Amino acid sequence: MIIGIPKETMNHEHRVGLIPSDVARLRRSNADHTILVQAGLGEEIGFSDKMYQEAGAEIVSEARVVWEKAELLVKCKEPLEDEYKYLRKDMILYSFLDLAYSKELAQALVDSKVTSVCGETIPGPKNNYPVLAPMSEVAGKLAAQLVAEYFCTHRGGRGILIGGCAGVPPAKVVVVGGGAVGMNAAKTLVGMGADVWVLDVDVHKVASHPLVVGNQVKLLYATEEGITTAMNGADGVVGAVLVTATQTPKVIKREHLKLMHSGGVIIDVACDLGGCIETIHQTTHDEPTYEVDGILHYGVPNMPGVVARTASICYSNESMPYVLSIANDGWKEMLKMPGALEGLNAYDGKIALKTIADAFSLPYIDPKTLIG
């Protein structure tokens, strides 16, 4: 099989689809595989073209050639609009997609009839979303760092130190959602000395977390009363609500912003799926923030792209079982792996996720009918 790995084109997206050591694993699995890597793919994060060549890849100068020749194309982030033209029926696309936020991309998958497998929708054998989970960890920890950074005056914040100091209280930060993103953000915020409050609709799910058991965070129901209590006097908010393959519900409304300190900061990790903050919209790493009602909002959809070495190693390693299966056995056999069926997002002009097909009024295909 011809496997292609092009450079990402999203703003400041430096992650790679596969790191060199995993390219070598793929090559060892079948000597007949041809692996095309776009020149400069990992240069910015310490993975040189020479490393990819030594792993068995061929270096190709143009992204167009990688796209056009690849039978299996491995990316990290979703194709952008100027890449839709490369999608075709005889291609298998493996990448994250964030389809719930983009009818245009869903329509492009339908129009091209490409076979699309998405790592973020694979529950895995333990139902713990093995490809998505490390990205959630990265995003949660990075969100905590960003809150601290944007509290600084030169970043537009009100000039507070997140952990406070002797005689001055720490910042109060509300984490909305107690899943992988939220609790990794909370863990990092606690480590920096913040006063951390966590909101979740299912507090029993979060109650056994060490941060809760150890009384290091305050856990409240995400009801109107709980939201009001948590947001009152808050300096920062981390939006960390994720509902896979569905647009994120709006938990924090505009009216809640007035409860925060003026000059406060909101980082919404789920903005790529619509976000859980009513006032959030997507931004870029070049222009990451904007202000609403005196509150700084950060809505970059590809946050892990700037800590790309760490994120790429995680993404590549967790993706490898599925990429190896597709390359060596075919995508239908890959779907038979435990917990992999939901990884199919599109096939032959139909969407394979019912929530997405229904939301965008697009044709649906049940992936169970494809594997017998």
Domain count, the chain: 2
pTM assigned to the model: 0.91
**Domain end: 271, 301, 331, which one?**
301
Residue 85, pLDDT score: 97
Q: How far apart are CA 314 and CA 308, in angstroms?
A: 10
**Domain end: 250, 277, 301, which one?**
301
127 in a domain, yes or no? no
Is the four-CA dihedral 201, 289, 273, 212 of positive or negative sign?
Answer: negative
Return left, alpha or beta for 88; rule: phi > 0 is left, psi -120 to 50 is alpha, else beta.
Answer: beta
CATH code where residue 173 lies: 3.40.50.720
Q: What's phi and psi for 257, nearest 5 deg?
A: -65, -30
Are both 192 and 332 inside the same structural domain? no
158 in a domain, yes or no? yes
Identity of the residue numbered 2: I
Residue 210 in tokens: 């060490």
Are both 21 and 65 inside the same structural domain? yes
Are both 173 and 73 inside the same structural domain? no
Q: How far apart are CA 241 and CA 238, in angstroms?
A: 9
Residue 358, pLDDT score: 95
User: Are the beta carbons of 1 and 24 closer than 8 angstroms?
Assistant: no
Residue 246, pLDDT score: 64
Are both 296 and 312 inside the same structural domain? no
Tens of pLDDT, residues 23-51: 999 999 999 999 999 999 999 999 999 99
Residue 245, pLDDT score: 56
| Range list of H helices, the chain | 20-29, 49-54, 63-69, 103-112, 132-150, 180-191, 203-206, 210-213, 224-231, 254-257, 308-329, 331-335, 354-360, 368-371
Residue 244, pLDDT score: 63
Are both 139 and 273 inside the same structural domain? yes
Are both 244 and 324 inside the same structural domain? no
Identity of the residue numbered 314: C
128 in a domain, yes or no? no
Average per-residue pLDDT in the chain? Answer: 96
Tens of pLDDT, residues 148-193: 999 999 999 999 999 999 999 999 999 999 999 999 999 999 999 9
User: Are the beta carbons of 185 and 240 closer than 8 angstroms?
Assistant: yes
pLDDT < 70 regions, the chain = 244-247
Residue 82 domain boundaries:
2-122+308-371
